[in-house]
Structure formats: C-alpha cells, structure tokens
Amino acid sequence: MKITRNNMKLVLLGLICLSICFAQPVFGDQLYAPEYLWAKGIDSKTEAVEIVDTHLGIPYRDDGALDDKGYFTSFDRPDRFFNTPGLNCSGLVVSAARFLFDKNFTLAEVTRDRQGNSGNNSPMGKDWDFGWDLILNLSDGRQPKVIMPDGKDYPLEGADGMNLRGFDLQDTSAWRRVISQMQPGHVYFGTISRAGNERPYKILHYHVVMMIPDSKGAVWLYHATRRSSVHKMNVNTTQGLNRFMSQFRGSRGDEKMILVVSAVLPTIGQETVADVPTPVAGETGAAQQRQPGTATAKLEPSDTNHDAAPTSEEEEQAPPPPPREPEKKGPEIVINHLAGKVFKAFPDLNGSIPKFADDAKQALSFRFQNHGNAARKIEIILQGPRGNSQYSGSLENNADELNVVYPRDFTNAEPSTSQGEYLVNVKIDGVQWLANAFEVAMPREAQPKITSVKVPNTVEAGKTFTVRIDAQNMGAESDYGGITVSCPNPAGLKIVSAKPGKVFSQGSTVLSVMSDKIRTKVPMAERWIELWGENKPYDMTVQIQAGKPGTYPLYVRCALRGVNVKSSVILMDPGSSDTADQQGFPVKVYNITVR
C-alpha cells in the first residue's frame, strides 16, 4: 500500500516538557502526532491529565493504534494506515504513554513477548497475555510497582500473566484500598483478564486502562471501548467507580481480575533540534478521482429500532439512505499539516498553523502575536513547489495579531498558491523559532467496490444454498457503510440468514432512497460496518432457500458514507443501474434458476 502525505496528516512535535518534578531530568525523543492531537494542543500541554485529555473522543477501532511516526494503523497490520483517528484500549495507552514519558515507543517494543510464552505456537494461545506484556513493557525502567489492596510488595521478577493477575475487578473495597495508594507524579496502568472461553486459552489479558491522579484528589481512569470511544471517569468517586465496574459486569462464572502497575513520570530535560521534512519541488498532492455513484442522502442504518442488538460487534443496523442528484461541485483543495517543530521557546509569542487567507483558496495566511514588552524582528522563509519566497517585518508588542499573507506580502512569490508541499521557517531576531511543513492538495474520497459475488447459476428447489459477497473500500477511510442483498420474489429465493450480518424480515422499518421511512416488502440481508478503512475488505455470506421452479433475480449492492463531500452524500457500487431495490438504490442483478 502506497502511503502519501495526502492520506496521512503528520505533525512532528518537539519534546514536550512535563511540569512534574520527580526523578532526574532526562532528554526525550523526537515525537510524532497526527493532526487530531496537534489540533488539541498536544504540543503545549504540560500536566499529565491535560496530555491524556487530548485523546478524548477518538473513535474506537478494532486493534487500532498510533505508530511511532504518527500514523493511525493497527497492531495486527502495522503496514496499513488510516486517514481518520481510531484507537483501541491498547492503542490509547501506548499513544498517551509516549507523551507522558517523552519516549517514542515503537509498536514492536510495547508488544514484546516478555517471556516468550505467547507466540504463534503457545500452548496457552497466541497473545494470551497481550495486556500484561504491554503495561510492563511501557513501565520498564520507570520504577514499576504492583499496587495491591493489601499494600504488600509483589515482585515482578519471575511473575507472569497467569500467577499475577491482581484483584477482583468488581470488589469495591479492594478498589478503595488500591486508589488510596495512588499519588500524583505517577501513572497507573491496568490489565484486565478473564478465563478464556476458547481453546487453548485458559487466561486472556484482553483490556488495558490508564489511571492518573491529579493534585485535587481525583483519579482519572482512561480507556477506549466500542460504545464510548476514548473516555475518562474519576474512579475516586462512587459514581465514577460504579460506572467503570458496570462496563465489565458479566454473567456468573465470568469473573474478571485487574492488575495495577505504577510507573514514575519523568521530568523532561531541554529539547533538542530535529530536522523538519523538506518538500520536494514540483511534487503535488494526490488528484481527486471521480467516484462511482454519488448521492445526497444521509447514510445511516436502515432499521429505526435502535433497541435491536446487531449480530456482531462491528455491525449496526441496516441500509443506507437516499441518493438524489449528484454533487455538481467537487471537493475543494485543503491544507494537510504534515509536520511542525518549535526550535526555541519564546513564551511571549504565539503562532498558528497556516490557513487559507481567502474563500477562493488562492492565498495562505500566517498569523502571529507578541505579548511581550518589546517589538521583535520576524522573518518568514517559505519553500514551495515553485521556489522560495521571503517576508521580513516587525512583530509589534501588545498589538493586534500580525497576519502575513502569501503571496501578497512575500518577495519572489508566485501570483497564487499552487498545489504541492510547503515548508515555512520562522525566525525571531535572527534566531530560528519554528517550522511547519504542510501540503495544499485535493482531498481523497472513499470508494466502495463489490469485488466478488459467488452465486450459483442453478439451484435445486427446496434446497438451501450460499451466496458470498466480497466488497472493499478502494479509497479513503469512511465512517460507515454496508453490503446489502435482497430478492424481489421470496417465493423463489427466500433469504434465511446472513453471517456476519442481519436479516430484516418483511415489514421492517427502513429508509428509502428519498429518506422517508418505509416498510420492507421483502426480506433483505445487510452487514453494517463502522469505520470502513482504506483498502479494507469485508464479506457477507447469505443463506438462501430455493422455492418454486423458475428464474429469479438476486439484488446486490454496497455503499459508503462520503468523506470529503457533505455528510449527507453517499457513494455506491453500482453507481447507477437499470434496476433498483425496494428502497430505490441501484443494484447489481444476478439471475438464479430454480429447478
């Protein structure tokens, strides 16, 4: 898979100094963060709680992680990348730990099999102690200590995820005794384990959390779940602790344990200068590709009964809503922030990331403000796809924001902004202050594609047969989408089941192509997918019972929510067709003869 700067927005952060005096000062690593964290001000946060708070609201993604270069990826496929944020519990803890410890952990480092007992051929199951390994790998070298209700020392040497699992997660009294030992200046990692319900797993460390005490007595627990994304709660309150425990209540015999390990937060030393990527002259962003089937309808699950549980964890309920007229106007160019670096701190000065200066997006705006006691000389050197240009001027103190516009205020500038990569370097009184690398480019779009439909031409009456549909998002990651199958004549072809997916019986409430609620006239099957990743394939297998002899059509379609168009626009495969299903969507038709 080719990774372009257009499909991953990176911001290279300088070293983040924590205002926590503990241990000896240390020098941190060069850290990377995606634009999501940059926009949350990750570079300016100094308190531990503030740092982790920048992750709040990141959507849950199965196996989702952030790698050491700032790309959203996954633990199981670190070679695949996503344009939109998404983390699972482990991905959250790893990302936050990088900025808390000022250590650019790689995914390989944090997932290291510490005792060589959970590899592919492990008799206890592959990655059975994944969470246990992860929190100990993160706390290595940071005075790790097991925190137990009895307050005793539990040595980590010689322990493993089988014999050291902590305390009962549902024991409120145990929690109170553990929380009473927590102190500011530390981070507390937790790994939750339960009995395995599949062979060969006896124990499974399947979920991790992070806890941070603040100076006001709160203990903030952070984790990522499917229902609530990345969120936090104060477990040093009855309400907060009960909320957390309720998220892990199971049936009798499904007891869960949690092991809590503390690590000391460091004091970070002075930052070092790191190189910022230099753009290649003439290199442009990826061009917008024409998309199949665009429609101005909000894409949602069709079933309006929100109490009905989906048949699998990644599914919601049914079909995409309506297309109308295609968008005449394509998406406009955007600025992708690739990297940034502060070389020297000027506490009285503020700067913002580059933005467009006009509605036509032909000019760039660079804004600065001086809250100090004296004016400063400011120099801006802009390297772009068509050459270099420069601005020199005065940044007056206690004045309005200085707005420097390219090309208007620059020497040797082109008449207007071009697509491509830019690097801006800013100097204050001759000293390099900061640099930003960014790209002006067309946005990428999602692209649904039915890649394979395995369907028999002829079947025997009364017999049940299988149809498999494979689909893939060939473009940018989409928030959601679905694969839908129906037959207009259930007397000839009756849909029995869908795996994974859900069968909507006749009379179910769904949304039509005109966005109004209708009742299905015939059964339909659908697999609904949240966060359909770039190049991510999904499939659905449908069991169908053949009825009376004859030849009958089977309708198949796939849809995704648009990424760069309005949220009411959906993309479809097929984009158009002479045949529509009961909701009015274009479909691919497969004729099946029943004998």
Q: What is the CATH number of the domain that holds 498?
A: 2.60.40.10
**544 falls within a domain:** yes
Are residues 253 and 310 located together in one domain of the fold? no
Q: Is 335 left (phi over 0), alpha (psi -120 to 50) or beta?
A: beta
Are residues 135 and 255 located together in one domain of the fold? yes
Residues of the chain short of pLDDT 70, as ranges, are 1-29, 197, 250-254, 267-331, 513-516, 564-569
The residue out of 441, 468, 492 marking a domain boundary is 441
Helices then strands, each counted (H, E), the chain: 7, 36
pLDDT tens-place string over residues 156-174? 988 999 999 999 999 999 9
Q: Would you state the pLDDT for residue 125?
A: 83
Q: Would you state the pLDDT for residue 43?
A: 78
**259 falls within a domain:** yes
Q: How many structural domains compose the chain?
A: 3
Q: What is the DSSP string of 122-150?
A: -TT-TTTTHHHHHHHHHHTTS--EEE-TT
**252 falls within a domain:** yes
**Phi, psi angles (nearest 5°) of residue 518:** -130, 165
Q: Would you state the pLDDT for residue 90?
A: 96
Query: What b/e sequence results for 241-252 when a residue is b if at least 16 CB atoms lie within 10 Å of its CB, and e otherwise?
Result: bebbbeeeeeee
Q: Would you state the pLDDT for residue 406?
A: 95
CB 14 within 8 A of CB 28: no
**Phi, psi angles (nearest 5°) of residue 101:** -95, -5
Are residues 309 and 207 located together in one domain of the fold? no
The rounded radius of gyration (Å) of the Cα atoms in the chain is: 28
Q: Is 479 left (phi over 0), alpha (psi -120 to 50) or beta?
A: alpha
d(CA 340, CA 335): 14
d(CA 210, CA 138): 11
Q: Would you state the pLDDT for residue 531?
A: 80
Q: Would you state the pLDDT for residue 516?
A: 65
**1 falls within a domain:** no
d(CA 226, CA 476): 22
Are residues 368 and 511 located together in one domain of the fold? no
**284 falls within a domain:** no
Q: Which residues are CB-neighbours of 53 under 8 A, at least 6 positions away?
A: 40, 45, 232
Count CB-CB contacts under 10 A for residue 103.
19
The residue out of 418, 441, 464 marking a domain boundary is 441
Which CATH number characterizes residue 434's domain? 2.60.40
Are residues 465 and 576 located together in one domain of the fold? yes
Are residues 197 and 213 located together in one domain of the fold? yes
Are residues 307 and 343 located together in one domain of the fold? no
Are residues 360 and 437 located together in one domain of the fold? yes
Q: Classify residue 311 by burial, with Cβ atoms within 10 Å: 0-12, 13-18, 19+.
A: middle
Are residues 431 and 516 located together in one domain of the fold? no
Q: Would you state the pLDDT for residue 476?
A: 81
Count CB-CB contacts under 10 A for residue 328.
5
Are residues 33 and 166 located together in one domain of the fold? yes
**588 falls within a domain:** yes
**451 falls within a domain:** yes
The residue out of 395, 426, 441 marking a domain boundary is 441
Are residues 469 and 513 located together in one domain of the fold? yes
Q: Would you state the pLDDT for residue 314?
A: 34
pLDDT tens-place string over residues 351-388? 888 899 988 889 999 999 998 899 999 999 999 998 99
Q: Would you state the pLDDT for residue 29?
A: 66
Are residues 140 and 106 located together in one domain of the fold? yes
Give the range of the structural domain holding residue 468, as residue numbers without chain letter.
294-329+444-594
Name the residue among 572, 570, 446 with its Cα closest to residue 82.
446
Q: Is 585 left (phi over 0), alpha (psi -120 to 50) or beta?
A: beta
**279 falls within a domain:** no
Q: Classify residue 360 by burial, with Cβ atoms within 10 Å: 0-12, 13-18, 19+.
A: exposed
**Phi, psi angles (nearest 5°) of residue 128:** -60, -30
Q: Name the DSSP letter for residue 348.
A: T
